[in-house]
Amino acid sequence: MKNKPWYPIAYMFAVTLFFSSIIIGLSALTRDRVEANQKLAFEKAVLDVLPIEVPAQASNLELHDLYVKLIQDPTPSSGSAYIYKIGNEIKGYALPISGKGFWDEISGVVGIAPDKKTITGISFYKQNETPGLGAEIAQLPFREQFVGKTIAKTGAPFNIKPVSEQTDDNSVHAVTGATQTSIRLEKFLLEQLEIWRKAMM
């Protein structure tokens, strides 16, 4: 049988069918879990950028419940930002931002106070920048700079400046040595904040 011309084809077909079936089965079984993980990473980032007290040891389920309780999906009047509401009072906005980084797509969230201009935080839930350099944008020292800064009313809404320049109310310092990440982050952050500013002001 092994010498028959059809044998290799039949063999390859059978082997592929066998292994593929297992893979397809397993990925179907874990699909919900994978999707939930991706959603949770986003929800964590949203809770992180808004002035919300999150218990330090909160489980994933507790975080998700907290998110469902406090955060509402974007409406036309919120300029595609998620809304943090207690009762009828708006307590803040969480604006999703994303764009091309140096290596891969960067996705994050900017928290904005009800005054529509003060930044309450920034967080990145997806990035693949160089560890130790570009990836520092996801670390506290870089992100903390944004807290309390404001989106400018005119001109560029925000700036990321080299460390050699002074920062003001509308800018932060870039990560030294991560020029490309900083330039690209600034580009899409600016574009998307500008769209938001137009929609909200």
Partner 1 sequence: MASEASTRTIMVKGLWKDNPIFRQVLGICSTLAVTNLVLNTMVMCIALVFTTALSSFTVSLLRNHTPRRIRMMVQTLIIAFYVILVDIGLKAFWPEMSENLGPYVGLIITNCIVMGRCEAFAGSNSPVPSFIDGFYSGVGYSFILVIIAFFRELLGMGTLFGYPMPFFSTIWDKWIIMVMPPGAFFALALVIWLFRTISADSEEDSK
What residues between 168 and 197 interact with partner 1 by CB under 8 A?
177
Instruction: Give the one residue of 15, 156, 163, 183 binding partner 1; rule: CB under 8 A.
Output: 15
Residues 149 and 84: their CA atoms lie apart, in Å, by 19
Residue closer to partner 1 by CB (options 2, 69) is 2
- Residue whose token pair is 């982050």: 185
Instruction: Give the one residue of 128, 141, 144, 191 binding partner 1; rule: CB under 8 A.
Output: 128
Least distance to partner 1 from the beta carbon of 107, Å?
11
- Can residue 21 be called a binding residue for partner 1 (CB under 8 A)? no
Q: Are 74 and 200 in contact (CB under 8 A)?
A: no
Q: Are 156 and 130 in contact (CB under 8 A)?
A: no
- Can residue 130 be called a binding residue for partner 1 (CB under 8 A)? yes
Q: What are phi and psi of 50, to 5 degrees?
A: -100, 155
Strands 159-161, 119-126: parallel, antiparallel or unpaired by DSSP?
Answer: unpaired
Instruction: Give the one residue of 77, 86, 132, 191 binding partner 1; rule: CB under 8 A.
Output: 132
Residue closer to partner 1 by CB (options 27, 77) is 27
Binding mask 49-88 for partner 1 (x = CB under 8 A): ----------------------------------------
Residues that bind partner 1 (CB under 8 A): 2, 7-8, 11-12, 15-16, 19, 22-23, 26-27, 30, 33-34, 37-38, 41, 104, 126, 128, 130-133, 177
